[in-house]
A and B are shown apart, each in its own frame.
Chain A
Amino acid sequence: MVVEILQSLSEMQIVGELTALSLLIGGIIMAGGVIIAKITKLLFHKYYAPSLPKDTAKNISKLIYFGILIITFLGFTSSQGIDLSGIMVAGGIFAVVIGFATQSVVSNLISGLFLIVEKPAKHGDTIELPDMGITGTLLDIGTFSSKVLRFDGTVTRIPNEKFFTSNIRSLTLSTVRRADVIVGISYESDIDNAILVMKNEILQTMPFVLQIPEPEFRTEELGDSSVNIHVFVWHPRDDWSQAQPILLTTLKRALDKSGIEIPFPQRVIWNGKD
């Protein structure tokens, strides 16, 4: 019975030498290929992906999946007796046309590959792209674009070409980071005393500020109204919020407690006499 059906299918010609039976075999090959690709991808995600960086795992997964699909497609075409050499020639011309039209897409794809190889930043890193004014956590380096979760909760998609050619400032590569502010004291105030007061307050009330290296104070400028002191403190990489945003408050509190004046620009206006 089955043999008879197959016999009849092999005699059923569709186009040229293409029969219903060869089309059926091709369909089975394609379906088998898709199933094998999906199973391989699933096994990879289950057993190997957890031990790899997220971006690498994602890209290897895509490579495996589409690689099996391409091999399956080549198997399908050879099972149908299709000669690809003609298509290759036409495809070459077509590829040039498509290449010009989609050069930015290809550029993004290649940049994505370079980003994966070079790894200027990885998933979860806090980065700053000064050229674009973007700061946030790197969520993903994809095939064509990367995604950055900004501190306001929004996600910015950046084409890989722009990402690759940008200056990337990593805020999480080093063990510690430095915070700095400038504070002005009056010309009448003793600079050494003001520095001592500020240093004591920092060391006593800011537990995330490192004792080694010590907070650094540089008298930076004799300004119009004040002597400006640049204050630098180091803190653990992940504790920026415990240093930079509260540093100025801490310094002002210390100076206020010690009665050291923080001057502000003053202008004396003389009314001309009639």
Chain B
Amino acid sequence: MKRMSDNSETIFSNYGIYDLKDDLELLLPNTSIKFHRISDNAFSYFRKNSEGKIVEKIIPVQSNDLKIELAPIRPLNHPARRTSHIFLKFDKNIHLSANSAASIFIHCPIEIGIFLIHDSIHDSLDWITCNSLNSRFGLYGSPDTGTLCKYAEVSSATDYSDSNSYFEGVMQIVLENNLSSSQSISKVVFPITDNTLYYEDSKTIIDGIKITMKKRAAVNIADVNTTSIETDWSMSPTWEDKTANTHMEMELE
């Protein structure tokens, strides 16, 4: 059931579910993953990532019906899980006229999760990032009261098919300016734990967000909420605790 995808002359493994019978090798950009049966009821797991770091594990199994799922996950785990928020800095500012609305697509960084599937339970085995340079932290606000976020500079995408395989998924951002003056948006900060990821082959799309610019108590704010997408793509498994905070309010510059 092993499937492959041609990506820039190198053949990489597609996202999806793989039967783990004996040996299994998965190849991703800058990363290789190997499963090897070491006994009737145990496998070894080997992973070498883009930074040359090696992770090895032993996986005891109780049945022969073991499956692996390779799927995109939210970009919150590398280099360490510290926050649920993401800070997306647009490479070009978005200008929105007064009392207008628009919709754009952007590339949003992703990580890749490896899950063990047994008895319909998805158990997180490991996670990786194919581009560690785009996996950094940033601070929104002041050092004492600000919000620590995962930080990435993002570019615009044409549509949902414009996913950058294994590195970035596509997210739709709906912007609504209810203010009487035009606004220039350079960044967006929000808790990404409510955004579900979907995959097909090596492509990823992510639940979108809606940014509503409005006035509250004489202060211009941007209210950020998650919007769901309807798709027949496979939904990625997740294991993170969802935050109670389902939206974010940013101050406009």
* CB atoms of B148 and A211 under 8 A apart: no
A-contact bits for B178-222, CB 8 A (1 contact / 0 none): 000000000000000000000000000000000000000000000
The 7 closest A-B pairs by CB, nearest first: A212-B138, A207-B79, A174-B144, A211-B136, A211-B151, A175-B148, A210-B137
Other-chain residue from A175, A178, A210, A238 in contact with B136 (beta carbon distance below 8 A):
A210
A103 beta carbon closer than 8 Å to chain B: no
| Cα distance, A209 to B80, chains bound together (Å) | 12
Distance in Å: Cβ of A170 to nearest Cβ of chain B: 11
B143 beta carbon closer than 8 Å to chain A: yes
* CB atoms of B148 and A207 under 8 A apart: no
The contact sample of 9 A-B pairs, CB cut-off 8 A, is A175-B139, A176-B139, A207-B132, A209-B136, A209-B137, A210-B136, A236-B137, A237-B148, A239-B82
Other-chain residue from A175, A207, A212, A239 in contact with B135 (beta carbon distance below 8 A):
A207
Q: Which of B129-175 contact A (CB under 8 A)?
A: 132-133, 135-140, 143-148, 151
B43 beta carbon closer than 8 Å to chain A: no
Other-chain residue from B79, B135, B138 in contact with A210 (beta carbon distance below 8 A):
B138
Other-chain residue from A174, A211, A234, A238 in contact with B82 (beta carbon distance below 8 A):
A238
Q: What residue in chain A is nearest B137 (Cβ atoms)? A: A210
How many chain B residues sit at the interface, stated as a range, is 20 to 34
With A175-B148, A236-B148 known, 14 other A-B pairs at CB within 8 A are: A175-B139, A175-B143, A176-B139, A176-B146, A177-B143, A207-B132, A207-B137, A210-B139, A211-B138, A212-B87, A212-B151, A234-B143, A236-B137, A238-B82
Distance in Å: Cβ of A211 to nearest Cβ of chain B: 5
| Cα distance, A210 to B132, chains bound together (Å) | 14
* CB atoms of B151 and A210 under 8 A apart: yes
Distance in Å: Cβ of B199 to nearest Cβ of chain A: 25
Q: What are the residues of chain A within 8 A of B143 when measuring CB–CB?
A: 174-178, 234
Distance in Å: Cβ of B64 to nearest Cβ of chain A: 39
Asked if A175 meets B146 with Cβ closer than 8 Å, knowing A207-B132, A208-B79, A210-B151, the reply is: yes
| Cα distance, A192 to B176, chains bound together (Å) | 42
Q: What residue in chain B is nearest A204 (Cβ atoms)? A: B133
Q: Which residues of B contact A (CB under 8 A)?
A: 78-80, 82, 87, 89, 132-133, 135-140, 143-148, 151
Asked if A175 meets B138 with Cβ closer than 8 Å, knowing A204-B133, A236-B82, A238-B82, the reply is: no
Interface SS of A by simple majority? loop
| Cα distance, A207 to B148, chains bound together (Å) | 14
Distance in Å: Cβ of A190 to nearest Cβ of chain B: 25
Q: What are the residues of chain A within 8 A of B139 when measuring CB–CB?
A: 175-176, 210, 212-213, 234
| Cα distance, A173 to B146, chains bound together (Å) | 12
Distance in Å: Cβ of B111 to nearest Cβ of chain A: 13
Q: What are the residues of chain B within 8 A of A174 when measuring CB–CB?
A: 143-144
Q: What are the residues of chain A within 8 A of B135 when measuring CB–CB?
A: 207
Distance in Å: Cβ of B228 to nearest Cβ of chain A: 29
Other-chain residue from B79, B80, B147 in contact with A175 (beta carbon distance below 8 A):
B147
Q: What residue in chain A is nearest B141 (Cβ atoms)? A: A175
Q: What are the residues of chain A within 8 A of B140 when measuring CB–CB?
A: 212
| Cα distance, A236 to B82, chains bound together (Å) | 8
* CB atoms of A207 and B146 under 8 A apart: no
Q: What residue in chain A is nearest B140 (Cβ atoms)? A: A212
Distance in Å: Cβ of B101 to nearest Cβ of chain A: 28
* CB atoms of B133 and A175 under 8 A apart: no
Q: What are the residues of chain A within 8 A of B80 when measuring CB–CB?
A: 208, 239
